[in-house]
Amino acid sequence: MNDQTVSRQTFDEVMVPCFSPAPFVPDRGEGSRVWDTAGRDYIDFACGIAVTSLGHAHPELLKVLHEQGGKLWHIGNGYTNEPVLRLAKKLESLTFADRAFFANSGAEANEAALKLARRVAFDRHGEQKAEIVSFTQSFHGRTFFTVSVGGQPKYSEGFGPIPQGIIHLPYNDIDAAKRAIGPQTCAVIVEPVQGEGGVIPADPAFLRALREACDAHGALLIFDEVQTGVGRTGTFYAYEQTGVTPDILTTAKALGNGFPIGAMLTTEAIAAHFKVGVHGTTYGGNPLGAAIAHKVVELISDPAVLAGVRARGETIRAKLAHLNARFDVFKEVRGQGLLIGAELNARFAGRAKDFNGAAANRGVMMLIAGPDVLRFAPSLIMPAADLDEGFARLEQAFEDVVGAR
Ligand SMILES: Cc1ncc(COP(=O)(O)O)c(C=O)c1O
């Protein structure tokens, strides 16, 4: 086989089949548009999965990529580098945190957070304080610790014994949390909006109750902001809207706008438990990723960009309401900022994939979150013309699925 001649079919011949990619092959992107190898264009309401929040081929990010790429990509953690120090300072200036650890993905950021929480409890209280509280339907990544902590058993089944000391409670259930969090609790990990679980926002009273219970029992509160972070919900981090400050925050996805980088942010007192050699990474904190992330953070933390997220979120909700008025497909539209989930009503239960496929046929990339929820996570700076065009195409896709009305 000539290794230059490839197509979607090649995927089935050469790749591990743990993904089932769309029939077309994206080739190039600019802003909120993507072109496939056949030259067809798509309006991008997905951003990977909430990753390319500044769109594709953003000129300022390309400039940093080229500048830092010609200077220094990697140096290893036996040395530090200026881009990573600037990025840490920048993130700390925007958050409660005063210490940062960099990784390459959301799962690794969560792995670091969970290990750190266990270590803090071990050092302060002893090995009996090891229980991690998580929530059903939560998603925290695909490493073995993070699938075990995540609240979707399908991701941890079939891989052998699950690490001990993890419990799952119903999300948004204050009484259940108050009952379960106790002296044995080491940490509580929660998404401010469950993304993969169906775009379900946390009730602020629920988050406050978690904070109180953690404080009462000396447990750490971890906010997984891998999907909600870096402007996605209309503030730089979603916790800012909740009145609750976590002890540890994890962030990734949009942080590098597609360049793989994740971070765990925390306080000096907690960070002190990761002494030299206790945790590590080869690539985490490399100068190339850090330089790109610094520019991403600078651009997205602009109050005008964050206001634009909230405005675009309202526009999309209005457009979804219009689609619903015409087709009667949604039971509920929910989310925050530009992380929006539209749950299908009983007539279309289980058919999110059909809508997704029809959208792709009409030139729209979007997401689902489980079998019943259409998920929208477009660029935070999506031009109005693309947004309008995307919804015009989506209306045709809905006609394809539902029939003309
Ligand atoms: C809330 C949340 N945490 C963690 C992850 C895992 O991130 P990654 O795929 O970068 O490891 C995801 C990915 O979807 C996520 O949505």
Residues near ligand 1 with C-beta < 6 Å? Answer: 49, 105-107, 110, 139-141, 191, 195-196, 224, 226-227, 252
DSSP states of 258-309 as a string? TS--EEEEE-HHHHTTS-TTSS--SSTT-HHHHHHHHHHHHHHTSHHHHHHH
Average pLDDT, the chain: 97
- Measure 227 CA to ligand 1 centroid, in angstroms: 7
Whole-angstrom Cα Rg for the chain: 21
Q: Residue 107: which of 190, 271, 224 has the closest Cα?
A: 224
Least Cα distance to 230 among 316, 138, 337 occurs for 337
Q: Is 41 a catalytic residue?
A: no
CB atoms within 10 A of CB 161: 6
Is 253 a known active-site residue? yes
CA distances (Å), 179 to each of 60, 207, 351, in order?
50, 15, 37
pLDDT tens-place string over residues 222-240: 999 999 999 999 999 999 9
The whole model's pTM is what?
0.98
pLDDT band at 249 (very low <50, low <70, confident <90, very high): very high
SS3 category, 4: coil
State residue 261's pLDDT score. 98
Structure tokens at 43: 């309006």
The encoded tokens of residue 342 equal 């539209």
> Which of 139, 145, 336 to probe ligand 1 with, by most ligand atoms within 8 A of CB?
139
Contact 99, 268 (CB under 8 A): yes
Select from 140, 193, 249 the residue to mutate for testing ligand 1; criterion: most ligand atoms less than 8 Å from CB: 140
Ligand 1 atom with the smallest distance to the CA of 146 is 4
Whole-number percent of the chain with pLDDT over 90:
99
SS3 of 393, please?
Answer: helix
**What is the pLDDT averaged over residues 273-295?**
98
> Is 90 among the catalytic positions?
no
CATH architecture entry for 8-57+303-402: Alpha-Beta Complex (3.90)
- Known binder of ligand: residue 225? yes
Residue 202's pLDDT is: 98
Going by pLDDT thresholds of 50, 70 and 90, the confidence category of residue 3 is confident
Among 267, 259, 402, 283, smallest CA distance to 344 is for: 402
Dihedral (CA of 100, 101, 105, 111) sign? negative
Mean pLDDT of 113-137: 98
Domain ranges of the chain: 8-57+303-402, 72-300
Closest CA to 362 of 387, 328, 395: 395
Residue whose CA is at the smallest distance from ligand 1 atom 4: 140
CATH architecture of the domain formed by 72-300: 3-Layer(aba) Sandwich (3.40)
Which of 101, 102, 139, 223 is catalytic? The answer is 139
Q: Does residue 112 contact residue 99 with C-beta atoms inside 8 Å?
A: no
8-57+303-402 and 72-300: same fold?
no
Token pair for 68: 């830092």
The count of other CB atoms within 10 Å of the CB of residue 101 is 24
115 neighbors 279 (Cβ within 8 angstroms): yes
pLDDT digits (tens, 9 = 90+) for 31-84: 999 999 999 999 999 999 999 999 999 999 999 999 999 999 999 999 999 999
Q: Please, are residues 40 and 24 in contact by the beta-carbon 8 Å criterion?
A: yes
Ligand 1 atom at shortest distance from the alpha carbon of 252: 10
Q: State the pLDDT at residue 363.
A: 98
Q: What is the pLDDT of residue 2?
A: 65
Rounded to the nearest angstrom, the distance between the alpha carbon of 110 and the centre of ligand 1 is: 9
Catalytic residue among 253, 295, 348, 376: 253
pLDDT over 70 at 1, yes or no: no
Q: Which of 224, 247, 372, 386 is catalytic?
A: 224
